[in-house]
Structure formats: structure tokens, C-alpha cells
Amino acid sequence: MATITLSTDEYLWFVDEALDDMARIVAELGDDDANRRPDLPDANSPFAILTHCLGVLEFWPAYMVVDRPFERDRDAEFRATGSVADLVERTHAARRQLTEDLADAELSAPPRHDPVYPEDVGTPLASSQSGLMIHVLREITQHLGQMEITRDVLLAARGA
């Protein structure tokens, strides 16, 4: 079986692309629209989606990979509102922290903590730090797609 090798710089390039796109979306929407939820059941605002992604960056690499203490209220991430400028700055800070966390990672080693969810036992998510980091990339890119659709729905609703 072939092995795919990805350098930290290559990995960060993909993360940066997604985070930059998300930051651009909330910036283009502005404070009002970025904090608005589409008129759909259980929909999240673009602001909340990006806030959640910052929580993903705080939890998985920080706690599960390098064992850095953190505080996270996952439910509050989806209710978050605020200034787009502040959120964009927090996004840049999270990206800088991710670079530091990856410098301290032992990607072939197991995660620093047991799996969060029972269904993760026996999966790459629970077997290596690199598996966790692929999960982080998956979550961010998945939520980028969600944010793009959310933006389109919000703009269509206001006739833009």
C-alpha cells in the first residue's frame, strides 16, 4: 500500500485556504449578515460556523495532540455573535497557534487523550495525532462548504 506524506507546510496551506475563504465570507457579509441565520430549521449564521471552526482548532490540536489546556463551550459556538473584525483577528490568531501546536506534535504517536466519542475507537481518529489532524482539516473544509451555502441563502433572501 502506498503512503501519502504531507509536510506541515503543505497541511497548513490547505487549512489556510479554508480559513481565508471563511474569513473572506464573513468580511464580505459584514456584521449584520454574518450574524444572521438563514430561515431554515437549525441553521447557523456564518459567524457561528467560523466560531465553531475556531473551537475545532482549539480542541483537537491543542488538547488531543499537544495537551495544551483549553476552555471550550461547544454549544455556545453555535450561538455566537459579534464583530466580524474581531472574528477575523481571532481566526488569524488561531492559525498562528495551530502552527505552534504542530511544531510540538508527534504526528505518528497516539493522541494524548482517549477518544472523545465511543464510535471513534479503532479509527484513525483515535490511533494517531496525524489522524486527528486530518479530522481537523475535514471539519474545516466541511464547514466552509456549509458557510458558502449559508452565504448564498442569506444573500438570496435579501435579494442580492
pLDDT, tens digit, 9 for 90 and up, residues 5-40:
889 999 999 999 999 999 999 999 999 999 999 999
Give the pLDDT confidence of 40-82 residue by residue, as tens digits. Answer: 999 999 999 999 999 999 999 999 999 988 888 999 999 999 9
Rounded (10°) CA dihedral 150, 25, 142, 67:
-130
Cell numbers standing for residue 46: 456564518
What gap in Å lies between CA 59 and CA 140, rounded to an integer?
A: 13
CATH classification of the domain holding 91: 1.20.120.450
Q: Is 3 a member of any domain? A: no
Number of domains in the chain: 1
Q: Is 2 a member of any domain? A: no
Q: Is 160 a member of any domain? A: no
Domain span at residue 32?
A: 8-155
Cell numbers standing for residue 117: 466519542
Least-confidence region, from 73-82, 100-109, 114-123: 114-123
Burial class (CB in 10 A: 0-12, 13-18, 19+), 146: middle
Q: Tell me, what amino acid is at 158?
A: R
